[in-house]
Amino acid sequence: MSWVLLVLSGVLEAVWATALDRSDGFSRLVPSIVFGVALTASMAGLAYALRELPVGTAYAVWVGIGAALTAGYAMATGAEPVTVVRIALILGIVACVAGLKITT
């Protein structure tokens, strides 16, 4: 259960990071609310997962999922360029996160 919550929390990290960007410095209400809710839920899920998982592994997985999804979403929406190198590097993050899960 801890791994499932950790993955969901990593997804929510991408949600709050994207909402933070779209809030324009908290000047837009809906993205600001999405940011606050997603941030709270993401941190709560990470905290719960840390009850059973080692902090180094859990944090790296949480950040890795969030970073990969945030960068992937930015490329998919045209906010960032799509290049073979960027895609390869994101896949590298995903491979490292999977490796941490396998070795735990």
Q: What is the DSSP-derived secondary structure letter of residue 24? A: T
Q: Is it the case that residue 93 has pLDDT exceeding 90?
A: yes
Q: Is it the case that residue 104 has pLDDT exceeding 80?
A: no
Determine whether 48 is exposed, middle or buried from the number of CB atoms within 10 Å of its CB (0-12, 13-18, 19+). Answer: middle
Give just the sign of the alpha carbon dihedral 91, 75, 61, 48: negative
What is the percent of the chain with per-residue pLDDT over 70, rounded to a whole number? 99
Query: Per-residue pLDDT tens for 3-54?
Result: 999 999 999 999 999 999 999 999 999 999 999 999 999 999 999 999 999 9
Please state the rounded mean pLDDT for residues 91-103. Answer: 89
Q: Where does the pLDDT of residue 61 fall: very low under 50, low under 70, confident under 90, or very high at 90 and above?
A: very high
Q: Where does the pLDDT of residue 102 fall: very low under 50, low under 70, confident under 90, or very high at 90 and above?
A: confident
Overall domain count for the chain: 1
Instruction: Say if pTM beats, i.e. exceeds, 0.85.
Output: yes
Q: Which residues span the domain enclosing 57?
A: 2-103
